[in-house]
Amino acid sequence: MRSIGHGITYVTSAAPGRAMTWDVICVTSEGEECGARSREVNDEAEGVLWMVNHTAWTGHTRFERRRKDYAVVEPFLRDSTS
Ligand SMILES: [Zn+2]
């Protein structure tokens, strides 16, 4: 993705070698928020499985899903052929 900051064009991309991760927090409130939290996983389906198991055990149905990734921002250097 290209963006301009202070008149300079930058390119933002996913950082190589840093996998996207998910973690899930139960925000079901029964007067007080549950707050149960999954471990950080590299696979969205694993996060979904954690929620399903938590719901099966507790009946809790509302979750916050946090997806984390890493980015690199570099100045955009025009292709010398253009
Ligand atoms: Zn819960």
Distance from residue 69's CA to the centre of ligand 1 (Å): 25
Residue 77 — pLDDT band, cuts 50, 70, 90?
Answer: confident
Distance (angstroms) between ligand 1 centre and the Cα of 30 equals 9
* Sign, CA torsion 71/1/20/65: positive
CA of 26 to the centre of ligand 1 (A): 5
DSSP for 21-62, written as a single string: EEEEEE--EESEE---BPPPBS-HHHHHHHHHHHHHHH----
How much distance in Å is there from the Cα of 34 to the middle of ligand 1?
5
In the chain, domain spans: 2-75
Give the pLDDT band of residue 78 (cuts 50, 70, 90): confident
Distance of CA 78 from the midpoint of ligand 1 (Å): 51
* 19-67 pLDDT, tens digit each: 999 999 999 998 999 999 999 999 999 999 999 999 999 999 999 999 9
Residue 60 φ then ψ, to 5°: -70, 140
d(CA 71, CA 69): 7
* Model pTM above 0.85: no
Other beta carbons less than 10 A from residue 72's beta carbon: 12
